[in-house]
Amino acid sequence: MIEGIILSCYATKAKTAYVYLRYEYPTCLDRMQAALDECYAAGYLGQNILGSEFSLDVCMHRGAAAYICGEETGLIESLEGKRAWPRIKPPFPAVEGVFRKPTVVNNIETVACVTHIVNRGADWFKSIGVPADPNNPRDPGSYGPKLYCLSGHVNKPGCYEAPLGITCRQLIDEYGGGVWKGRKAKAAIPGGISMGLFTEKELDTPLDFAGPGRVGCLGLGTAAVVVLDETVSIVDFLHNSCRFFQHESCGQCTPCREGTRWALEMLERIKAGKGRLKDLDLLLEIGDSIGIIPGTTICGLADGAAWPIKNAIRKFRGEFEEYIKRTNPQGYAVTHAVKALPILAAH
């Protein structure tokens, strides 16, 4: 990984690299810092590396654990010591990034591949994974190995390295030892909750860059696959998802700030037995109206909040309808009058 950083910086003429790490990983921080110290001692980092004219400093930076710091400009703001509010683009970071300098932001997993590509060649790298789909001009292929983080209701959760393009079912059965307690899967999140949901029937979808999009998901995302067994309530799943995104929205954009709140309030009402069947279409309307893809927000967090809503309701609508009918047989919501604001005296 450090060699990948050095090669990337050499190629882009960068003199400083920052490794931005979430706060919760102290072991990673200690190991990375120890490895960096070894590199400095060996002359692989610092001034005039191995007697050349190339100099590079690599700094570890510990973030304060906000989801939005995964967005590159939010990360840059946080790195500069500010609140992690994503920036309006353009300018893009490659033109004006951290400390107003041209900046390249990449996932460390990507950077770690650089060393292997330089050592073994692009053809070797492209021999792993899935070639481009000739019928899809937007699919450049999915090459190389991938770290799949498998969690949820499987026998052997863990982080597995496998070629891009294995199916979700292969990951669950061959790497994760199958669904736990002998149960069946009901659904799986393909790559972080923001990517949406696979149904059980969609588990044969390849986990490559194009695969999840073919079944209505946002994409592969982080390849952090979470398995939901047949006992999980999709209503509970969506409630948790809405709670998470409402909490993580940074609040700059009205559609994201208000939309995530409305979605959560509706899910809380449904969970409290006051749901209405028409709430499902209202939720879909929120899902279709917030995010970068409809062009209403600064960053993609709102899309990330919208996709689980759209996927859960479109793919599991029957379960939501059954829940609402069972918990609120009259089918209408109990509403409360909103108090008028006090009228202030003219003076």
* Binding positions for ligand SF4, rule: CB under 6 A: 68, 86, 249-253, 256-257, 297-299, 301-302
Which of residues 243 and 257 has its CB atom nearest to ligand SF4 in the complex?
Answer: 257
Of the two residues 179 and 301, which places its CB atom closer to ligand SF4 in the complex?
301
Instruction: Give, in order, the Cα–Cα distances in Å from 92 to each of 230, 232, 238.
Output: 44, 41, 33
Question: Minimal distance in Å, beta carbon 299 to ligand SF4?
Answer: 3
Minimum distance of ligand SF4 from residue 262's CB (angstroms): 14
Cα separation, 23 vs 335, whole angstroms: 42
Cβ-Cβ contacts under 8 Å for 29 (sequence gap 6 or more): 21, 60, 62
Nearest distance from C-beta of residue 84 to ligand SF4, angstroms: 9
The phi and psi torsions of 152 (rounded to 5 degrees) equal: 90, -145
CB of 71 to ligand SF4, least distance (A): 7
Complex with ligand SF4: residue 142 or 252, whichever CB lies closer: 252
The dihedral of CA 236, 201, 161, 117: what is its sign? negative
Q: Is 17 helix (H, G, I), strand (E, B) or coil?
A: strand
Q: Nearest distance from residue 263's CB to ligand SF4, in Å?
A: 13
Which is nearer to ligand SF4, 78 or 205 (by Cβ)?
78
Backbone angles phi, psi at 37, to 5 degrees: -60, -40
d(CA 83, CA 229): 38
Taking the complex as a whole, how short is the minimal distance between the CB of residue 78 and ligand SF4, in angstroms? 13
CB of 21 to ligand SF4, least distance (A): 21
229 vs 258 by CB, closer to ligand SF4: 258
Cα–Cα distance, 91 to 326 (Å, whole number): 52
Please state the closest distance from residue 235 (CB atom) to ligand SF4, in A: 24
CA of 303: how far to CAs of 196, 217, 339, in Å? 10, 11, 33
Q: Residue 64: what are its φ and ψ, rounded to 5°?
A: -110, 30
- For residues 189 and 253, which CB has a smaller minimum distance to ligand SF4 in the complex? 253
> Which C-beta is closer to ligand SF4: that of 241 or that of 252?
252
Please tell me the number of Cα atoms within 13 Å of 76 on its side-chain side: 21
Q: Helices (DSSP H) in 13-165: which residue ranges?
A: 26-42, 72-79, 108-120, 122-126
The residues pairing with 129 across neighbouring beta strands, listed in sequence order, are: 143
Q: Which amino acid is at 117?
A: I
Angle value at C-alpha 195, between 275 and 85, nearest 5 degrees = 90
DSSP β-bridge partners for residue 142: 130
Whose Cβ is closer to ligand SF4: residue 44's or residue 85's?
Answer: 85
